[in-house]
Amino acid sequence: MELLKRKIIEEGIVLSDQVLKVDSFLNHQIDPLLMQEIGRTFANRFRESGITKIVTIESSGIAPAVMTALELGVSVIFARKRKSLTLQDDLYTEKVYSFTKKEESEVSISRKLLSPSDRVLLIDDFLANGEAALAMARIVENAGAEVAGIGIVIEKAFQNGGSKLRELGYDIESLARVTSLQSGSAVFAD
């Protein structure tokens, strides 16, 4: 997606050869027009996939997930990272190990929100080692539902998440594939 790549080049800050900071449009401030275009692009890619629901993880996945959901006419479930006062239903809970943060956390979705007839599109802002996407997929599959696709805004193709998920047979669309951050700027796959 050309607009997204331009945004990354113009506003992204390469913090190290592993980490790209995009706080000005994705992880802190949100650019709604860019987000609308992201939603349209995911929706066009997965329009024939029979999607009934979108699943993401709070917080940065929510904006692209909602814009995609608006285009597809479905609801968004965001997996929660903390047990909340109101989220006390029976839950699907999965562990997520972050190689970046070197810590394990948990994500949960209420059992009421997923059914075996759902065809789910997973959306996330970044794909690094794929642990977050795999946790979402396990929740969907534990509910007896199907992961019909995975939409990623920025894939760091030099980490192994993309190849892991593709080997498992998931249909993945990444809007920007960054192959290297080593020169101090982002290099794209195409």
| Half-sphere exposure (Cβ direction) of 137: Cα atoms closer than 13 Å | 19
- Collapse the DSSP code of 65 into the 3-class scheme (helix H, G, I; strand E, B; otherwise coil) and give the result: helix
Span interacting with Na ion, options 5-13, 17-25, 118-126, 182-190, rule CB under 5 A: 118-126
What is the 3-class SS of 81-134, one letter each residue? Answer: CCCCCCCCCCEEEEEEEECCCCEEEEEEEEHHHCCCCCEEEEEEEEECCCHHHH
Q: Report in angstroms how near the CB of residue 1 gets to ligand G4P at its nearest.
A: 17
- In the complex, what is the shortest distance from the CB of residue 132 to Na ion, in angstroms, rounded to a whole number? 6
H or E element in which residue 161 lies? helix 161-167
Beta pairing, strands 103-110 & 91-98: antiparallel
Options 4, 8, 14, 22; binder of ligand G4P; rule CB under 6 A: 22
Q: Is 137 within any annotated ligand binding site?
A: no
Please tell me whether 44 is known to bind a ligand: no
Cα three-residue angle 136-131-24, rounded to 5 degrees: 90
- Listed ranges 1-9, 105-113, 120-128, 178-186: which one lies at the site for Na ion (CB under 5 A): 120-128
Q: Is 20 annotated as a binding residue?
A: yes
Structure letter (DSSP) for residue 160: S
Q: Which of residues 41-70 bind Na ion (CB under 5 A)?
A: 60-61
| Interface residue with ligand G4P, options 8, 54, 127, 139 (CB under 6 A) | 127
Q: What is the residue type of 9?
A: I
4 has binding-site annotation: no
CB of 126 to Na ion, least distance (A): 5
Residues near Na ion, by CB under 5 A: 60-61, 124-125
Q: Which segments are annotated as binding site for 5-phospho-alpha-D-ribose 1-diphosphate?
A: 128-132
Residues near ligand G4P, by CB under 6 A: 19-22, 27, 57, 59-61, 98-101, 125-132, 156, 161
